[in-house]
Structure 1
Amino acid sequence: MAAFSPSQHEAVVDKLNSGLPKAQNNVAVVRRNAYSVSESLFLPPGAGDVIKHLADEVVKAFKWLLDEFVAVMEGVGAPLLFWENADQWQTIRGLASTVAGQTTPGVLGSTGDWTGDTATAYTKAIAPQSTAAASLASIADKTSQALVTCAGTGLAFYATIALLLVQFIGIQVAAAAADTTVVGAIPGLLVALGGTASTGSLMLAALVGIGALLGPQATQMVTLHGLAMDNGAFPGGHWPKATDV
């Protein structure tokens, strides 16, 4: 399981937030350079039109991949939220486990000196409280573990996306440089097309990968919901009554 670090998450978010505007700006640079070279008098007949066509195709590919980056960025804050909620669930686990330990007949010493129908009813009411608290502690712990896994997986995913963005920017910069020369314009644009497609494929693979990793956590959450509705610990999906009154 990938570990989560708030500082690492912040660094990844900063890299994405600073890189995306650069990538968006580079689209216009590549197109402008290509169109400028396409007007060169040193080009053979028809070569200028080829360069313009390739530049348009590259721009389409760039914009498509940029849209994918923007879409993925919508969830960039989720790993940190998972982490923060995991910590809160651990707090709940601690409180619930304390209640479970303190509401057993053996711990409540007064029950040993108390007799009669009221004492019997009181003792019977204690056991479900401890059971429910212990069940809540277990559910809280497992929920926290699932959220920690989601946080670490999410961080690893966005770290990968940040690397792909850096790779994409490198492709753009190389294309912009190649577009300033008559000889390098067409090869540079073709390389940019191939590189953009490759980066897009890697992003798709990352999306499939995170889906496969988070799927079991979603299943775990459904299971935990079922435990929370367990009539043994929570009759009717509610906390057991502490009294028959």
Structure 2
Amino acid sequence: MAFNAAQYEATSQKLTAGIQTLSTKLNEVGPKAESTANHWYVPDFVAKALIWAANKVIEAASWVLNKIKELLEGIAAPVYLAMHVWDWQSDIRGKATGVAGSTTADQLESLKHWTGDAATSYTTAVKAQPIAAAKIGTSADKVATGLALCATAGLAFYVAVGVILAQYIVTMIAAIAALGSVVFSWAGAAVIVGDTSVSAGLIITAVTALLALLGAQAQQMAAIEGEARDMTAYPHGHWPVAAP
């Protein structure tokens, strides 16, 4: 799965709409349970089960709603990461590899017309330049790859959150319908609470998977930083001097 701007936009819109829908459904739980419990023909033990279940549903749904809102604070990250992939590939890697290719001994135009000791010394002096430039190109490619993976993972994560949210809304609708039913029991209350609590685990699983991938990319970034400090390509941590 590659990053897709259209899919990102659609996912963002669905999440925004889903949060509004879930918030609306959450506000319906309490009144629905109280309305049913207050009917004269509803036994006391059923009324207690209704109110208990409603409170638990509100508790679980509030956690899910607040957690998804919190996660949405970073929803812009995937698109920014995807934009920077182009910067690293085109502006940095492309230019660096261009320099590397044009400064090798067989590509230097001057050597086609220039011979002798001076030409030999010049060739020796500049031979470190393409190596250093190529190293930048390699590192830039790795950065771009890491950014692309993170952007794709971020999009996949929000798609997963969107699916969880959509399923949760369906569960909430069913829970509200059950709370409005006169055929109710403590067993039914437990089922409702269980159904509305499942999404919490799914969200935690999705977050854990995303963090694992981002952690691996952080290690890759550390390795790239090490390459930037490579004394072989950059003597004493600096760009190689072309002439003594």
Unaligned runs of 5+ in 1: none
Q: Which residue of 2 aligns with 1:44?
A: 43
String of CA shifts for 1:11-37, please: whole Å, max 9, x gaps: 111111111111112111111111111
Query: CA contact under 8 A between 1:179 and 1:188: conserved in structure 2?
Result: no
Structure-to-structure mapping, 1:106-185, within 5 angstroms: 106-111=106-111, 113=114, 115=116, 119=119, 122-184=122-184
2:107 aligned with 1:90: no
Q: Distance in 2 between matches of 1:231 and 1:172?
A: 60
Q: Distance in 2 between matches of 1:4 and 1:137?
A: 23
Q: Which residue of 1 aligns with 2:103?
A: 103
Q: Which residue of 1 aligns with 2:80?
A: 81
Q: Distance in 2 between matches of 1:54 and 1:85?
A: 48
Q: Distance in 1 between matches of 2:188 and 2:12?
A: 30
Q: Which residue of 1 aligns with 2:56?
A: 57
Q: Which residue of 2 aligns with 1:207?
A: 207
What is the deviation of 1:186?
Answer: 6.2
- Residues 196 and 135 of structure 1: CA distance in aligned 2, closer, same or farther (over 3 Å): same
What is the deviation of 1:135?
Answer: 0.5
What is the deviation of 1:190?
Answer: 3.5
String of CA shifts for 1:183-205, please: whole Å, max 9, x gaps: 25866653331122211111111
Output the amino acid matched with 2:50. I
Q: What is the DSSP-based 3-state SS (H/G/I as helix, E as strand, rest coil) of the residue aligned with 1:106?
A: helix
Q: Distance in 1 between matches of 2:28 and 2:71?
A: 24
What is the deviation of 1:109?
Answer: 2.5
What is the deviation of 1:101?
Answer: 0.7
Q: Which residue of 1 aligns with 2:223?
A: 223
Q: Distance in 1 between matches of 2:185 and 2:170?
A: 16
Q: Which residue of 2 aligns with 1:27?
A: 26
TM-score by length of 2: 0.90
Q: Distance in 2 between matches of 1:65 and 1:160?
A: 14
Query: CA contact under 8 A between 1:97 and 1:137: conserved in structure 2?
Result: yes
String of CA shifts for 1:128-151, please: whole Å, max 9, x gaps: 221111001111111111111111
String of CA shifts for 1:57-77, please: whole Å, max 9, x gaps: 211111111122112212212
TM-score by length of 1: 0.90
Q: Distance in 1 between matches of 2:117 and 2:84?
A: 45
Query: CA contact under 8 A between 2:135 and 2:233: conserved in structure 1?
Result: yes
Query: CA contact under 8 A between 1:100 and 1:133: conserved in structure 2?
Result: yes
- Residues 164 and 120 of structure 1: CA distance in aligned 2, closer, same or farther (over 3 Å): same
String of CA shifts for 1:157-194, please: whole Å, max 9, x gaps: 11111000001111111112222232258666533311
Q: Distance in 1 between matches of 2:187 and 2:217?
A: 46
- Residues 215 and 55 of structure 1: CA distance in aligned 2, closer, same or farther (over 3 Å): same
Output the amino acid matched with 1:72. L
Q: Distance in 1 between matches of 2:122 and 2:239?
A: 16
Segments of 4+ in structure 1 off by > 4 A? 114-117, 184-189
Unaligned runs of 5+ in 2: none
Output the amino acid matched with 1:215. G
What is the deviation of 1:120?
Answer: 5.3
Equivalent pairs: percent with the same residue?
A: 36
What is the deviation of 1:217?
Answer: 1.7
What is the deviation of 1:114?
Answer: 5.4
String of CA shifts for 1:39-91, please: whole Å, max 9, x gaps: 11011134323322221121111111112211221221221122111111111
RMSD across aligned positions (CA): 2.0
